[in-house]
Chain A
Amino acid sequence: MKYVDEFRDPELGRVLAGEIVNLVEPGRHYKLMEVCGGHTHSIYKYGIDDLLPENVELVHGPGCPVCVIPMGRVDDGIAMAHQPNVIFTCFGDMMRIPGSDGSLLDAKADGADIRMVYSPLDALRIAMQNPDRDVVFFAIGFETTAPSTALTLKRARVEGVTNFFCMCNHVTIVPPLRALLDSPDLRLDGFIGPGHVSTVVGARPFEFIPVDYEKPIVVAGFEPLDVLQAVHMILTQLAEGRCEVENQYTRVVSYEGNLRALETLSEVFELRPHFEWRGLGFISQSGLRISEAYADFDAERRYEVPGVRVADPKACQCGEVLKGVIKPFDCKVFGTACTPERPIGTCMVSSEGACAAYYNYGRFAREREVV
């Protein structure tokens, strides 16, 4: 595949890995967090861990949008899906996220009309094809996917669609990062910055990380060479005693971001005073809701839902995993009560979740050769 294979060249990978070995101080342990679930997935999918020196550890951060949805929101979604005359639409990953009493997939088997879509526009299309039904789209994601939801609502208005509603669970990237950095039990040397989010917000919003917390951050792409190069760039900063925002993903990300997308976001959404994150609790100004101007499309204003905050399951340690305090296998229920088939915590649900990635891809003794 042109424009993809170039970034998966194993020869270049070996060269880069060799340079990384030369960069690390022997005896020093490096903990780098990849913020985005997409990076977690790449790291496992390509076995990038194998190419790094033993003392460079990658910690999986909170950037999997599916993983951070709390149970109460899933329950609210299921309540909407069970309303008569509703077609409920969401992304595939979202279907298996457990609420307090089952997932959307269970609700579907129970008779709710729940359909998997690949884009919010698909949901809008369903609404236009079924004018006598209410179609609800369960919107999730960081600033990466929020513009497509915003554009879909704008399109719905232009087309005069009145039976399309959005349950907005969009979140923003900076507040949770700040919450993480403020957390006293966190020990990290640097960040691999989220590439997809940065295509929209740019690299500038991450300036607080070096300025306020004196940690380097490198915004990176998702191919294996991107990730390796980002590690190289962070380690170079550390070796030279610098800490800055750097952009490895220049082929897609500009420093200022996508101004038109940002403008659309501020037109359609507004910040919630606070939003609950699975495992991280309430974080101020970290979630988006639909603005007054688009209130007609707001599913939360249309439907009565329980709106009950459900505490994370006691046994689940997703929060500590998300903060990088513990590794997935340190969790009490990892791999036994909590598996990809029957997830308890959301880190186990999406393939981008730290626990699911470890369970699916990393579950073997790397020290022991395959014989």
Chain B
Amino acid sequence: MSEPTAIGEERSPIAGEERSAIAGEERSPIAGEERSAIADRASTGPQSPRVSTAASPGEERSPIVDRVSTAASLSREEKVRGIIETARAKRGKFRDEHVTMSHGAGGKATQSMIEGLFVPAFASETLRAMGDAGAVEVGGARLAMTTDSYVVKPIVFPGGSIGDLAVNGTVNDLSVAGARPVALSLSLVLEEGLPAAELRREVDAIAAAARAADVEVVTGDTKVVERGHCDSMYVCTTGIGHVDPRAQLSPAALRPGDRVIVSGTVGDHGTAIMLARGEFDLSSQIESDTRSLWPAVDALLSETGPALRCMRDATRGGVASVLNELARASNVAMLIQEAAVPVEPAVAGAAEILGIDPMYVANEGKMVVFVAPEAADAALATLRSVRGCERAAEIGEVRTEPPGMVLVETAFGGKRVMDQLVGDPLPRIC
């Protein structure tokens, strides 16, 4: 508790002066006048009987007290925001007593575990960059490497299965890092009693997805655990790709004015999984969007080259988590136009009923692309020409203020913060 406060105090001389100047010049005189006018009116206005019944010595004083507290609370609001932003800009700490489901949700808890435990433990500069894939030099060749475990439940869902995810998810982590996927490893953890037909079906799915993505499964491993020690099957894949020489991507490369593009409708995969579990008695035609993003990345690299700043596949935590991560990494703000975000009506309907924002729902074949403003139209046209990205849309823009934050202009016309995910709305979606 004491730590963030101390930091906030350190910071306040810089931020505080600026802010109180704003508060002092623009707000308090007006607010003050407003207040004293209320006081005048209170004794003479149409509701005066009510006011006078309530009036007591304390009550009479309150317009003044009110005015003082308003001026004070304005600066306090500014100061508290400063403290919060400073605390949030710090690297996360892992202080929990137990691992809870929220550590796997891709939001704040996940981030604190990665930044507070893994990154310091391994002291790797490449890891510290925390891209979707890490880059390594091997004999002069630049390779990207990534790994991912798949624990989705149920293992088969509309639009795909765990096997499809295991290939496409890893292929996509390489692709958005600007690397052409080359080879995959395949590790399987199988539950005792798993029907052989299910295993065969998933192996076929893996083979088909690998063929479609043009990657080779070159090595593998199998473990079997007692019944009840895993849920049907878990799949882990590791992927290696060639970093494309056209790619000059960095999460810290975003500049004010850059455009934010999503490669298609958001929230399909998470919604499909959620409904496939049958917990809600809702039925729909929503299918997972699992697919390889390499063709889209390949086309974008050809078309926009260095104007392409950064890409992320919006899996767990959804588009909102990607935006927050990059706003922090580049120390920029983002302003998203809610009305511009493409959402399938069925996904919007399910999200509405369940009280979930589709921007936080997982995708398995969608990416967020950040591109220099002059290349935005070309990037959008290129994406839309690629299969699976026909509904790509520009959804917002990179700004300078307030740094590290994502704001949304709502379809209704107001503004709000779109924060990192807290907690876990939908466990085990990938």
Contacts and interface: CB of A to CB of B under 8 A. Distances in A.
A370 B402 CA distance: 7
Contacts of A25: 41
Interface in A310-352: 315, 326-327, 329-330, 333-337, 340-341, 351
Interface string A48-60: 1111000100000
Interface in B26-53: 26-27, 33-35, 37-38, 41, 45-47, 50
A49 B414 contact: yes
Interface stretch (B97-105, B147-155, B209-217, B263-271): B97-105
Contacts of A334: 80
Interface string B319-344: 00000000000000101000000000
Contacts of B401: 368-371
A327 B58 CA distance: 21
A109 interface: yes
Nearest to B35: A29
A29 B70 CA distance: 12
Contacts of B108: 341
A335 B84 contact: yes
Given A109-B99, A224-B412, A365 B87 contact: no
Contact of A27 (B19, B33, B98, B112): B33
Contacts of B10: none
B219 interface: no
A109 B1 contact: no
A4 interface: yes
Contacts of B12: none
A1 B352 contact: yes
A332 to B, nearest CB: 9
Contact of B98 (A8, A109, A368): A109
A336 B407 contact: no
A118 B37 contact: no
A324 to B, nearest CB: 13
A238 B400 CA distance: 42
A248 to B, nearest CB: 17
A337 B35 CA distance: 33
B422 A340 contact: yes
Contact of B22 (A1, A106, A368): A368
Contacts of A366: 415
Given A29-B38, A360-B419, A187 B62 contact: yes
B98 A110 contact: yes
Interface in A182-201: 184, 187
Given A106-B97, A368-B22, A118 B41 contact: no
Nearest to B73: A330
A241 interface: yes
B90 to A, nearest CB: 12
A4 B411 CA distance: 13
Contacts of B78: 365
A260 interface: no
Contacts of A251: none
Contacts of B97: 102, 106, 109
B81 interface: yes
B348 to A, nearest CB: 6
A365 B100 contact: no
Contacts of B1: 315, 333, 336-337
A157 interface: no
B77 A28 contact: no
A97 to B, nearest CB: 12
A2 to B, nearest CB: 10
Contact of B417 (A105, A363, A368): A363
Contacts of A205: none
A46 interface: yes
**Chain B interface residue number, banded:** 35 or more
Of listed B102, B112, B349, B410, residue having the most chain A CB within 10 A: B410
B8 interface: yes
B83 A336 contact: yes
A364 interface: yes
A122 B279 contact: yes
Contacts of A270: none
A370 B335 contact: yes
Contacts of A367: 22, 26-27
Contacts of A224: 412
B47 A47 contact: no
A362 B411 contact: no
Given A47-B410, A368-B22, A361 B77 contact: no
9 pairs of A and B residues whose beta carbons are closest in the complex: A47-B414, A27-B37, A109-B98, A337-B1, A50-B414, A335-B84, A361-B416, A46-B412, A329-B80
Interface of B: 1, 4-5, 8, 19, 22, 26-27, 33-35, 37-38, 41, 45-47, 50, 58, 62, 73, 76-78, 80-81, 83-84, 87, 97-102, 108-109, 112, 279-280, 333, 335, 345, 348-349, 352, 355, 399-402, 405, 407, 409-417, 419, 422-423, 425
Interface of A: 1, 4, 8, 10, 13-14, 25, 27-29, 44-51, 55, 92, 96, 102, 105-106, 108-110, 118, 122, 184, 187, 214, 224, 238, 241, 315, 326-327, 329-330, 333-337, 340-341, 351, 359-371
18 contacts: A14-B413, A27-B33, A29-B34, A45-B410, A45-B416, A46-B414, A48-B414, A51-B412, A51-B413, A110-B98, A118-B280, A340-B422, A341-B109, A359-B419, A363-B417, A368-B22, A368-B401, A370-B401
Given A109-B98, A340-B422, A360-B417, 18 more contacts: A27-B37, A29-B35, A47-B409, A47-B413, A47-B415, A102-B97, A106-B97, A187-B62, A329-B81, A336-B87, A340-B423, A351-B355, A362-B416, A363-B81, A363-B417, A368-B401, A369-B401, A370-B415
